[in-house]
Amino acid sequence: MSKVLAFDFGASTGRAILADYSNGKLTYSEVHRFDNNLTEQNGKLCWDFKYLLGEVKKAIGMVSDADSLAFDTWGVDYGILDKNGKLISLPVCYRDERTKNIPEEIYKHITPEKLYEKTGNQIMPINTLFQLKAETEVNGDIFLFMPDLFAYCLCGAKTVEQTIASTSQMLDLENVKWQKDIFALSEKDEKLLPEIVKSATVAGEYNGIKVIKVAGHDTQCAVCAMPSTNDKISAFLSCGTWSLIGCENDKPILTDKSMNDELSNELGANGKINYLKNISGLWLIQEIRRNFKAEDKEYSYNDMEQLARKEKPFGFFIDPDDPNFATPGGMPEKIRDFCKKTGQKIPNADGELIRCIYESLAMKYKYAIEQIESNTEKKFEVLHLLGGGTKDTFLCQMAADSLNIPVIAGPTEATALGNIMLQLIALGDIKSVDEGRKIIREQEKTVTYYPENAKSFSDGYKKFKQIIK
C-alpha cells in the first residue's frame, strides 16, 4: 500500500494529485490547483519558478503521509544553476521568440538531415539545443529540465530523466547518452550537461518523502496510462495545450522521409520509442477564448462549442502549426489573415472562427496519421485520445470522423495517472507499465466515438490539404 503525490504541470495550470494504491485498487483526487502564468524578465517570456515552487511546497504541506512525490511538465524548457546551486534567472518559455532564427545558425555547421539522424527529434526552434544556442547566461554550472529543476529544489539531485532529455535535440536515443558533438553546436561549456537517469527511479528525499523521477515529459506520462490492448494496432493522441499524435515503436525511425514529414522520436518510460508529431492543440481554443474575453465576450468552453456547432462545416481552414499561431495575442485576426492569404473567404462570426480551429485540428490529425502510417507501414485500427481533450466531445467526434476509425477517449487524467503508476513502480507496488495500464483499463472510464460523418470529412480533407500546402 502506498500513497503518492503527482505534480502535473501544463502550460496554463499546475496540479497536485494525491493517489492511494491499496489491494490492487487506485483512488485519487486533486488536492491543489494553481495558475501557471507567464511573466516577463529582461524582455523574455519566462516561467515564474519561485511562485510555482511555492505552490508545490504548499501542496506538500496539505498532505501528511505521502510516501513519494514526482513531477511531470511540458518538454524542452530548463533552468540554469550557478556554481553555488542557485537558479541564475527564471526559466525562459518555449514561446519566447529568442530562438526564431537559431536553427539557421546551427545549419551553418550541420545539415538538418544529419541533425535529425543523430537525435531523431522533429526540428523545431523551441527545442533545447536551439534555446541553449540563444542562451545569454554564460556563468552557468549545470542546466536542468523543468521537472528535474523542481526535484532538485526539494532533494538536491542534479540529474535529468531520460524522457524529458529526449525532447532536447541532443540525445542519442539508442544509447541514452548526450550527443556531445551536437551539444557543442550550442557553443556552451560541456559542464552544463547533467547526468541522465531512467524513469521510475528514486532521486532523494524531501521531509521524509521520496522524490521520484517519473517520465518528466508529460506526453510520456500520458502514454504510460494508455489503456491499450495488444489485439489492436493503436495510435495515441495526447491532447491538451499541445496535441501529440503518434504510436509506440521498438526502434527510432531516422530517415530523411521521416524528417521531412516532421515526425519525432522520443523515449518512453517503458523503453519504447514514441514516434509522434507535435501539433498545436487546444492552445488555439484557449487563446481565442482569452482574446474574446478582452473584447468583453465571456464565453465558456461550452458556449464556444455551441457557437461552432451552429456554423456550416468546412467553410474555413488554417494550418494549426503556422508559426503565426504559436505566439500569444490577436488570434481572431491571425486566423482571418491566414484565410485571406490562402484565398479563402474571411470568417467574421465568432462561431466561424471557433469551428475553423476545431475542423483544422481534426484534419491535421488525419494528415499526421497518414504520415506516421507511411513511415511505419502500420494501419491504425483505433486512436486512444488521452488527457484534457477527452472532455471536448466536439473534438473527439471530429477526430473519429476525420480518421475514420474509433476514438477511445480517456482517461482524462492520463498524465497524472502515468505519473502515479511510475511512482508505484519505483516503490515496488507494481512491476511494469503494462501492469499499470491493466489497472487503468479496469478502473478508468472511457468513451468510444465511432465515425458518423467520414464521407463529408474526407471531402473536406481534400480542401484542407490544398490550403496547407
pLDDT digits (tens, 9 = 90+) for 425-445: 999 999 999 999 999 999 999
DSSP classification of residue 97: G
Which pLDDT score, from 0 to 100, does residue 56 have? 98
What DSSP letter does each residue of 90-156 carry, written as one string? PPBPTTSGGGTTHHHHHTTTS-HHHHHHHH-----TTSHHHHHHH----S-SEEEEHHHHHHHHHH-
Is the per-residue pLDDT at 33 higher than 90? yes
Instruction: Give the architecture-level CATH label for domain 226-412+431-469.
Output: 2-Layer Sandwich (3.30)
Told to judge if 337 belongs to the known catalytic residues of this protein, a careful annotator would answer no
**How much of the chain, in percent, has pLDDT values that exceed 70?**
100
C-alpha distance across the termini of the chain, in Å: 54
Q: Which residues contact 447 (CB under 8 A, 6 or more apart)?
A: 390, 396, 408, 409, 410
Summary mean pLDDT of the chain? 96
Q: Where are the beta strands (DSSP E) in 36-169?
A: 38-41, 44-47, 68-72, 78-81, 142-145, 159-161
- What distance in Å separates the CA atoms of residue 254 and residue 9, rounded to the nearest whole number? 30
Mean pLDDT within 186-201: 97
Is the per-residue pLDDT at 229 higher than 90? no
The verdict on domain 2-216 having CATH code 3.40.50.2300 is: no
In the chain, CATH 3.30.420.40 sits at 2-216, 226-412+431-469
Mean pLDDT within 190-196: 97
| 294: confidence class by pLDDT, cuts 50, 70, 90 | very high
Which pLDDT score, from 0 to 100, does residue 72 have? 98
Alpha carbon of residue 434 to chain centroid:
21
Set 72, 96, 148, 218: catalytic member: 218
Q: 0.85 cut: is pTM over it?
A: yes
**What amino acid occupies position 341?**
K
